[in-house]
Chain A
């Protein structure tokens, strides 16, 4: 019993101190963000994190939109209101699936890569050698990656939603024969720019901050062994996914509930 309590206390203390380290790390890295020198580094990271994630985002968005079109049509046609399928697809994607699924895919695709890359840089003493050269790794390695993640996630989520709507249209309009005037008309009438699109972008921005922060911190803080790197990549994906889903509930309650 005493052993159990001791273990519980030790684990919780370790978690709390990791949280503290993560906080300090985040603010120290953010203090370095605005500098002219880091623009090429930022662009390079934006390519690695954003552009290289495009394929998985576009393909997933397309299929999710197509499935939404199919499912929506079959449910709505029973009530004779299949013209509403457009607004259903658009609202589902813009409010929820766009930001959330993009963040989950991002954590798996870019987050794990960030953790492994930074972890290997630590294991091969590249971070140490930067420090000994008088170059702050927070400025040179971490800050551009964080910023690129913040920028890439909302853009990816927008692309995901747009491709999803297009996929939904292909299925419901081109294939199942919903009248395209009502498909687009209902969508335009139902989707509000501030309420739906801006809130969706805010969500994805929050997810972008959280996922990138978790990924770079796990890489920076890991034990530099092969086991440490594999643990840290797993943690990145698990923590990011759980935080995204938990935060999504909170954000949805604040944005769309009457709180």
Chain B
């Protein structure tokens, strides 16, 4: 399909241009441009509920944008046919927040799954590959466990082994640090860094854990309120970023993002409420009058 093929800057793996996306009446993205550089770790950060996971789903083609283009390695994801999209996805790995391991298969079978479906490799070779991937995440000994027997951190590592089973070009991590204890978190941080270097991956990490993300990221994108608030190297953003970027990176409770949810004037609110109660009290009393 020729119109699904487009030029891409050789330094980028993903280029998003003029992307708009809304869910119901809510505008999630309003005409944004994003570059994901090839071979680097890009962190996409922003307050909860700004649609960071949505961005990953848009890149993976699970959601269709209302406007704009998403160019993944020279292919326009939003114009691919179903079959071509599934072919492209074989080159992408994604680590879901919950791990999303298949609960009826062992850890070994989970990692072997993409190999069995997409390749005709003989069983001994599949075994070698699976053990290599499991060894890389430190779970070679846990291969016979069922997903229900794994801790949250182990499940995420097993899912990571599955995501890299086919040696993808890019891995997308959806909130990899959330709900992890400090040790498990350090393990994941180390894994993301070392896998990116060892396999020559492009990585996208969606997170709001500032310290962990900043410790491994080469490129930082901050999204909020449907817009890109800043993108560039982390040090650069900390120096020259807007007030919002500074508030976010320093984790200040009040600033451009107000502590209070938008509301009417406080004095008016309290006065109105007491007025309403008064009125209700009057109407209740009236039958007895």
Q: Which residues of A contact B (CB under 8 A)?
A: 37, 124-126, 128-129, 131-136, 140
Top 8 nearest A-B pairs by Cβ distance? A134-B90, A125-B100, A134-B89, A129-B100, A132-B94, A125-B96, A134-B86, A133-B114
Asked whether, in the complex, the Cβ of A134 is within 8 Å of the Cβ of B96, the reply is: no
Is B60 within 8 A of A125, CB to CB?
A: no
Query: Is B284 in contact with chain A by the CB < 8 A criterion?
Result: no
Bin chain B's interface residue count: 20 to 34
> Which A-chain residue is minimally distant from B174 (CB atoms)?
A125
Q: Chain B, 76-94, contact with A by CB distance < 8 Å: what is the 0/1 string? A: 0000001000111110111
B residues 133-178 in Cβ contact with A at 8 Å:
159, 162
Other than A125-B96, A125-B98, A132-B62, give 15 A-B pairs with Cβ distance below 8 A.
Answer: A37-B117, A124-B98, A124-B103, A125-B97, A126-B100, A128-B62, A129-B96, A129-B159, A131-B60, A132-B93, A132-B94, A133-B89, A133-B90, A133-B117, A135-B114
Q: Give residues of chain B (42-96) contacting chain A, Cβ–Cβ below 8 Å.
A: 57, 60, 62, 82, 86-90, 92-94, 96
The residues of A that contact B244 with a CB separation of less than 8 Å are: none
11 interchain pairs (CB within 8 A)?
A: A125-B97, A125-B100, A126-B101, A128-B57, A128-B96, A128-B100, A132-B60, A132-B93, A133-B90, A134-B87, A135-B114
Question: B84 to chain A: closest CB distance in Å?
Answer: 11
B118 located at the interface, meaning its Cβ lies under 8 Å from any Cβ of chain A in the complex: yes
Complex Cα spacing A132 to B60, Å: 7
With a cutoff of 8 Å between Cβ atoms, the chain B residues found around residue A136 in the complex are: 82, 86
A-B contact count (CB 8 A): 50
**Which B residues are in CB contact (< 8 Å) with A131?**
60, 62, 89
A123, chain B: closest CB distance, angstroms: 9
CB distance from B203 to the nearest CB of A (A): 15
Q: Tell me the smallest distance from the CB of B260 to a CB of chain A, in Å.
A: 29
Q: How far is the CB of B12 from chain A (nearest CB, A)?
A: 21
Q: Once bound together, how far apart are the Cα atoms of A125 and B100, in whole Å? A: 5
Report the Cα distance A37→B119, complex, angstroms.
12
CB pair A132–B103 under 8 Å, yes or no, is no
CA–CA, A125 and B53, complex, Å: 13
Q: A132 to B168, alpha carbons, bound, how many Å? A: 12
Q: Which residue of B lies closest to A136 (CB)?
A: B86
Task: Give the distance in Å from the alpha carbon of A140 to the alpha carbon of B113 in the complex.
Answer: 12
Residues of B within 8 A of A124 (CB): 98, 100, 103
Known A-B contacts A124-B100, A124-B103, A135-B114; A129 and B94 likewise in contact (beta carbons under 8 Å): yes
Known: A132-B92, A134-B86, A134-B87. A126 touches B118 (CB 8 A): no
B96 contacts which chain A residues (CB < 8 A)?
125, 128-129
B107 to chain A: closest CB distance in Å?
A: 15
Residue of A nearest to B94 (CB): A132
Q: How far is the CB of A49 from chain B (nearest CB, A)?
A: 15
Interface centre among A125, A134, A140 (most CB of B within 10 A): A134
- A28 (CB) vs chain B CBs: closest residue: B82
A129 proximity list for chain B (CB < 8 A): 94, 96, 100, 159
In the assembled complex, the CB of A122 is this many whole angstroms from the nearest CB of chain B, namely 10
Residues in A with CB closer than 8 Å to B90 are: 133-134
Closest to B114 in A: A133
Determine if A126 and B103 form an interchain contact, defined as CB atoms under 8 angstroms apart. Answer: yes
What are the residues of chain A within 8 A of B159 when measuring CB–CB?
129
Nearest CB of A to B120, in Å: 11
- The smallest beta-carbon distance between B114 and chain A, in angstroms, is 5
